[in-house]
Amino acid sequence: MTPRFIVFEGIDGSGTSTQANLLHGALVSAGYRAAKTSEPSDGPVGHLIREINTGRVHVSGDHVTVDRHMAYLFAADRYDHLHNDVDGILHRLACGFSVISTRYYLSSYAYNTHTVADLELVRTLNAAFPMPDITFYFEIDPELACSRIEAAGRPRDRNETMQNLLRVQANYRRALEGYAGRVEYIQAAAPPSSIHAQIMQTILPMVSQ
């Protein structure tokens, strides 16, 4: 088995978490070593980011200003997520685990940029981070994503508005145009079982080498 770093990207409500869970379960059931994670991470900075997104911790300023704060926080969280020697991504890969992450640095380009200056900030903060082996990008109509979020019946965080979903989707598309890594596009309106089969068809040959 070859350990792989696998990333799922897409706007809120696109189904990335569902598919990450399905892939992790399928790989483990097939006898592969696999670990599932996400960003923000479960580390201390990741916890702070979640508290800000849900409104339990307040950062002063408008949405644009807060997203600039978040760009720095996400970079700090990502560094720890990669490098900590307890459950960091690189540590797990070195131990023979394929790592499945819901979101990675493309999400900072999508969520934390409003201006050209923001884009340059995110590029600088994330320049040293390694590229995943593969990124699955989940393409979905923001209206469908919004209806899925509503159906989940949980409190929304500050990113889960239609206006923001449209902005984030446009930012993802721009970021992907200049992305040099391997990307597989997922039509996220398809049935979950069909999406899972497509992902497995791609991943199994990669981890079996």
Q: Kindly provide the residue ranges of all beta strands, DSSP E only, lying in 23-133, ordered along the sequence.
A: 34-38, 98-102
| Contact status, residue 175 vs residue 107, Cβ threshold 8 Å | no
Domains of the chain: 5-207 (3.40.50.300)
Tokens representing residue 72 in the block: 């720095």
Q: Is the preceding omega at residue 40 within 30 degrees of 0, hence cis?
A: yes
Q: Residue 89: its pLDDT value, please?
A: 98
Q: Residue 163: its pLDDT value, please?
A: 92
Q: Residue 34: its pLDDT value, please?
A: 98
How many C-beta atoms lie closer than 10 Å to residue 117's C-beta?
A: 10
Q: Residue 209: its pLDDT value, please?
A: 81
What is the model's pTM?
0.95
Q: Residue 153: its pLDDT value, please?
A: 78
Q: What is the pLDDT along the chain (209 residues), one digit of tens a residue?
A: 899 999 999 999 999 999 999 999 999 999 999 999 999 999 999 999 999 998 889 888 888 899 999 999 999 999 999 999 999 999 999 999 999 999 999 999 999 999 999 999 999 999 999 999 999 999 999 999 999 998 887 777 888 899 999 999 999 999 999 999 999 999 999 999 999 999 999 999 999 98
| Contact status, residue 82 vs residue 88, Cβ threshold 8 Å | yes
Cα 141 to Cα 109, 144, 146, 147, 193: the distances in Å are 19, 5, 9, 10, 19
